[in-house]
Structures are given as structure tokens and as C-alpha cells.
Amino acid sequence: MKRSAIIALVVAAALLVVLFSIPWFIRVVTDWYWFEALGFQVVFLRELWTKLLLGSVVGIISFAFFFTNLRLAQRGLVPDPLVVTFSPNVPKVDLTQMLRRVTWPVSLAMGLMLGLSGASGWHLLLRLLNATPFGVSDPVFGRDISYYEFVLPAVHAVLSLVTGLTLLALFIVVPLYLLRRDIVVAGKRIVIERSAEVHLGVLLCVMFLATALTTFLVRIPMVLYSTSGPLFGATYTDLTMRIPLMHMSWVISLLGAGFVLLGIRTKKVARNTIAAVVAYFLVAGVGGSLLPAMVQKFVVDPNELAKETPQLEHHIAATREAWGLNEVAIRDLSGEATLDLADIQNNSGTIKNVRLWDRDPLLQTFRQLQEIRTYYDFNSVDDDRYWIDGEYRQVLLSPRELNTASLPTRNFINERLTYTHGMGLTLSPVNQVTLEGLPHLFIKDLPPASSVSIEVTRPQLYYGELSNDYAFARTGQPEFDFPLGDSSAFTSYAGNGGVEVSSFLKRLFLSARFRSFDALLTEYVTRESRVLYYRNIRERVAKALPFLTWDSDPYMVITDDGRLVWILDAYTRSGRYPYSEPLADGTNYMRNSVKVVIDAYHGSVSAYITDPGDPIIRTYDKIYPGVLLSLGEMPDDIRAHIRYPEDLFRAQTALYTTFHMDEPDIFYSREDQWQIPVLARSEGPRDPFLRHIVMKLPGESQEEYIVMTPFTPRQKDNLAAWMVARNDGDNYGKLVVYRFPRQSLVFGPSQIVNRMNQDTEISRQISLWDQRGSEVIRGSLLVIPIEESLIFVQAIYLRAEGGRIPELKRVVVAYQNQVVMEETLEQGLARLFGGAGAVTPPIMTVDEVLADTPDVAAASIADLVRQASNHYDRAMAAQRAGDWATYGEEMQLVGELLRQLREAGGGG
């Protein structure tokens, strides 16, 4: 090959690299704009410079390594070169000479590829340099857990690089030597030219050394992640047989390196290499599998519990430590408590906050009643708690987000300039309904109007769960704000979010990033305009804080001054904690170390450390100084709404079903294993009993916001215990398990559901509704702890045939072996614990009924309204006083008046 052809090939390759680098460069520049606007420059620069430095070092070393080996393999003259003729009219080509000429570009290409690959390990380097001790040692080697978390991955990566380089070099130079006839196979003999023998001997020696170091520094410590026995971690067989055999194998690898060096000196590299490889595989391969299998079968299996008891102790202790289960407080319940009216009265705060509305039916109702325009969408419903008009209330809320995919006309002006944001939210109490069975709304409509003490002063949602497109704000085109009768209200963005389009160069890069000529050419975008991108809150936090993982349920909070902010729970995870039980994805250490707050209007991101004792987050705090704030810096009105994250609680409860047993013999036999209750119905939420509740815990003096899950014994239906995670004040993050005595029988969810299904009155009514064409929707079964006992509540919804709005029609209440179904929770409790029988009380005041159903407010029924209002007020006063008999009498009168109201209003 001529020199000019080689130069042309190199130039073409360089042009291709530049061409493919342009999109990368555009993304880097526009990402820098975004990080700079967000104030997270250190995250961007630390990653970028570490990647460049590490990639350059690995690339240069790889280039030098390959170039040196290729030049060594091609030194000297070839007395009998391999010549190839492609055509009679084309001169013969000396392959050895041609390969000599491509040594430099091949080495450069290999260095470039390995440099790019090596740059991906940038986080390993930063974590290694800023490692924080755990203060806990593994029980086998006595190393701090930080070795496995920070040091071992980096060491493994370096040794993998050395091994990979050496193998690649061997795969390249051996064929090259064969081509040059420096290696000749003659019958059963292999003849190797002396310089080639030395070269190959050195590479093989490096290979043996790398294998020895990998075995000693990586494979032996990783035995602590073994899954070969009845536990996760090193078993008896691993400790007594596999680890000693691994020590033998790395010693043999070292001896093999020495044997190859001896072969270089005695000119017997091939023979010595074969002998070393055979010895290594006899010990590491045959011995490493056969001998442990024999020990397991003949020594361990007949005596497994006795042999594995120490390892089971390590497994239990490590799992409880890694998952925070060692901090779970245990409270034993008597199991003999019975409830009466006094208990219901003492827990009135719990009763008032029983969540009758399930998320799915409520979301369907919100979408039908409050989306208002097709381009608005409610994506999810979240639980929270607020002080409303002096009462601690649990509420359900859903942000009204913009869905640009539903715009009637989709073009650049509409999607990028005009329709830029969602508007407000809908908020309702968890247990109030209108007479029509619809949720009562505390905050509703456009612009958001509030009937309680919570106000929304900045309702625009520029950042949310559905906001996944870029938008230009503060442009010459007015932004649609909300519909206003037959017209529309418009606004202009006054926030500080996004990137200023302050120069033509910025605009050029941003237009290239979005692949939009309209963004470059439109006259609506000026130097004062701002472009908002990474607006989806999950994408936003993942970009800003790439070292964290995220909970699946972000939630919105209304601040005291009426702003809307998102809270996202962030985790530090690891799969490298020795002996700790992993999840299906390999995670065996998890902490909710950070909570992130995103302003829905400005897009600002604030990250607060919630677990300063976590060594992983302390390491990241050193890597990215100034990015993570202390929890004390979180505003009080936002901190009042933080909650224990569901994904972590879900994992902890699943593990606790087994790891509450801390005695090895009980753990081994699974004598007291629990399970999270399951129901026969497959539809509904994946965790039907994981619930947020405002309740008064046994032994506590006031209600608080908790998340709870019940437990039943494995393959049994009665309740064994229930776990809560506390959310309020100084008790935030505390886990408590309330256990029932093992000898007591406490009905579990499946048993209660069976009793509901067997109740003739309930079955008859549900069958009647089904026959009339309505769809009956059974809500989630709520397990409500009261004192040291439990009540069960299930809402029954109806959806008309062909309809889309579920209406709450009945509430089933169960206590011990009693089951009743009434129109309200209060009515059901009155039947169970004494007082009035079946009544039909409203769950809203009459004034609220009139506000939600103005057609009823005719002058002809004003007297009935006033009477109903007076009786209802007296009923509520009796309820607060715990006078359930008077409450029932007053509600009977209200029921009669309401029937008259329906007749007067034509509702039949």
C-alpha cells in the first residue's frame, strides 16, 4: 500500500471522528449552559474533566502499549515475506510491509477506543479518591465495608484493563508472528524465533501476574457475595475449601509467571507455558469445582444448620445493618383489646382521616371533572397532610399538567411558545363526598380557587412529571395561562429558570440541540427570552444529580406562601455489601440519603442530605462540594411535608418478613416467617395494604402521618404484626413494628374480605347494582389500627354503564367478626359500636352541598336547607363530643330532610 493511500485513509478516519463528534460537542455545550443556569457547574465540570483525564491516560497507555508491541513484532527483515497478487496487472503486495505501515493508525484507533471505554470509569476514580469509611468490618477478612464499596471496583477495573490489553496484544502479535514465519509449526514441534519467543514470554508472564493479582485482590473478596448456599455470602464450603483453593491458584499463577521467565532463559517458553496453564486449571478448574462439591455433599449437607450457623449469623446481621432493619423498634400488643365508643372518641383524629378515596377512582374523577381542557392532564394522585382551618387533615392532590400531545393544533408556535405550562392542582380531603358520591374539592377550577386556609398564589407549572419538551418563555408571543370564559388569559414568564438566549451563538447551539430551524429563525425569540429544557422532573434530577437513584413517586407540596414545589426522594444504593440479602436487581444496601426540592415555576433544584450517617452520600458530598445542603437548611414549610419513601419502605417490609427472625436456627427453618397479605383479586395497586394514614399510634398522645403495612404468618391469613414508618417532626424515619401475640387470633385482610363476601346483605346489594348495569368497584381494604386493635374499611364505588366517573356509594366497616355496610363511615361505626341504626347523613355541610349542586338551591326549598343545616351542625357537635346516640338521632332527621330535598329538586 502506498504512503498516499495510507494518508488518505487516516484523513478519512479523522473526518469521520470529527463528524460524529459534532453532536457530542453540541450536547456538551448546551448541557454546560443548563448546568450553569442551575448553579450545578461543579457536577458538570467534575465529570467532564475526570472523563477527559482518565480517558486520555487510558488512551495514551493503550496506544503506547499496542504501538510498542506491534513494532517489536515487526522489527528486523523478513527473509521470506508473504506476497499476495490481487490481479495480474497490479504489482504484488508484501503483506508484512503493508502491516508495518498501518502500525501507527491501528495503535491510534485501539488507543482511542480503549480511552473512550476507560473514561466511563470516571465515577470509580472519584469515589476511590474520596472514599469514606463505613466503620463496619466484614466478618471474614476484617476489611472495612468501604473497601468493597470504593476500592474493590476500582482495583477490578484496573486489573481488567491490564488483562484485556495483554490478551488483545497476544491475539494481534501471534498471528503477526505466524505471518512473518517467526513461529513455525513443524509436525509436533513448534519452532519460535528467539526475539519472538522473548516477546511472547513477557506478554504471557504479564498475563499470569494479572491473573494472580485478580484472584488475590478481587476474586477472593468477592466470595463474600456467593450464592451457592442457603444464604447470600460466603458459606462453610466457601470458607473452608474455595478460598484456600483460590489462594493456591494465585500462588500457582505467580509460579507460572516465574516458570515462563525461566522458559525465556532456557528457550522453552512454549513448553513451560503449557505446563503452567495445565497446573493452574487443575487447581482452579478441576479442584475449584470438584473438591468444594464433595465437601458440600458429604460434610455440609448432612449437618447444614450446624455448619452454616456462623455464616447465618453474619448474613442476618449484615442484612439488618445494610437495610436499616436493626433500628426497627418492637412494640408488643396484648391481642386482647376490644374497642368501644370511648376508644373511637379518643381516636377521632384517626377516624376523620380514614382514606375512603382510592387513588385510581379519584384520578378518574379528577380527569372528568377538573381537566377542563383536553390539553390538561392529571398524571397521578398523591397523599399528603396539611393543617387546614386548624385541623390536621390528610388530603389527596393532583397537579393539572400540560400535555402538549393533546393540543388541537400542534406546531412550533403552539408547542414551544404559547402553551408552555400547566395550571394549579386539585386537592380534596380523603374522606368527604358530595351527595352525588363525588369527592369534595378544597381546591379546584381555573385559576385554582380554594375554600379552605390553603391558597395557591403561583399556580403555573413549568416543570412536572409530563413536561418533557423544551419551551421558550418571555418571548414576543404571549403565553396561554388559563381559559377565561369564551376567551383566554395570557401571561409572560417572570421566573429565573431556563437558559438565557443572550447571543446568536447560544441560539445557534440550542437550535442545533433541538434540531429546529424554527428556533433559530423565529422573530419571537429575543435576547431576553429563556429556553426551558430538561423540564421533566425525573429527567431533571437525574441530569443534575447523576450519582443518585430515585423513588418512583414524586409528590407536590403547597408552601405557606402558595408556591408549588416537587419533592423527590433520592437513594444511595449498592450491591457490594458483604453478606447482605439483595433485591431482584442486585441492590443489597439502600439509604434515603437525599431529598430534592424542585420549584415548579422556577425549576430550581435544591438537594438536602437526610441521612448524614451514610458513608456513600458523604463521599459524594466530598466529590461535589456545595451541591448537597444539610436538612436544617430546608425551609420549615417544606420540611413539614417530607415523608418516608415508599420504595424503600416496600423493600424493608419485604425483607423484614424474614429478617425479623434473628436467631440462626429459627431463621434457617423459617419457623416464624411472615408475608405481606395478598388478596385473590389481581387488579388494583401492587401494594394494596401499603397506606399513608393520619392516626394516633398506640401509646402516643396525638395523631401523626405514617405509612404502614400489615404482616400475616406465611401461608396463613390471620395478622401477625404491622409496621409503620413515622413521618412527622423529630420522629421522621423511625420504624416501629407492632406485634400481636402468636397465640392470639387477629383476623387478617383475606379473612375480612371473605366475611364481606359471605355477608348476605352486602352480596345482595352488590348483585343488585350489577344487575342494573352499573359497574361495582371495590376499593382497597384499609387496615386501620385503633389503640391495640384494628378495624377494616372498604369503600364501594359505582360507575354507570358507559360512564367514566366512579361515585362513592357505600362504606363497608368490619371489626372482629362483625361486618356492616352503610352509606358513611360514621354510620357504620355507629352500628358496630352502638348508637343509631341506618341513617343517610351528608358528609358535607349543606352550604357545601349547595355550592357543589346549585340546581338544588331553589327558593322553594330554602326552609328545608336551613333545617338540614341546623340538624347537621348539631350532629357534628355531638360527634366531636363522642355522643353517638345524639349524633344518630340528628342524622336521621338530616336524612329525612335530604330525601325531601331530592324530591323537591326533582331527583326522586
Backbone angles phi, psi at 170, to 5 degrees: -65, -40
**Is 848's pLDDT higher than 50?**
no
d(CA 415, CA 393): 38
**Is 825's pLDDT higher than 80?**
yes
- Classify the C-alpha dihedral 294-296-302-303 as positive or negative: positive
DSSP for 820-831, please give it.
EEESSHHHHHHH
163 Cβ neighbours under 8 A, 6+ residues apart = 207, 210, 211, 214
**Is 520's pLDDT higher than 90?**
yes
**Is 841's pLDDT higher than 50?**
no
d(CA 350, CA 693): 8
| Of residues 773, 876, 891, 764, the one with CA closest to residue 823 | 891
Model confidence at 875, in pLDDT bands (50, 70, 90)?
confident
- Classify the C-alpha dihedral 353-358-364-367 as positive or negative: positive
Q: Are 608 and 595 in contact (CB under 8 A)?
A: yes
For 100-147, write each residue's pLDDT tens digit. 777 888 899 899 999 999 999 999 999 999 999 999 999 999 999 999
pTM for the model: 0.88
Helix (H) or strand (E) holding 568: strand 564-574
pLDDT at position 864 is 72
| Of residues 178, 170, 158, the one with CA closest to residue 277 | 170
pLDDT at position 475 is 95
Stretch 616-637: mean pLDDT: 97
- Classify the C-alpha dihedral 443-446-448-450 as positive or negative: negative
**Is 394's pLDDT higher than 80?**
yes
pLDDT at position 746 is 87
Q: Are 424 and 405 in contact (CB under 8 A)?
A: no
Mean pLDDT across the chain:
88
**Is 90's pLDDT higher than 90?**
no
142 Cβ neighbours under 8 A, 6+ residues apart = none
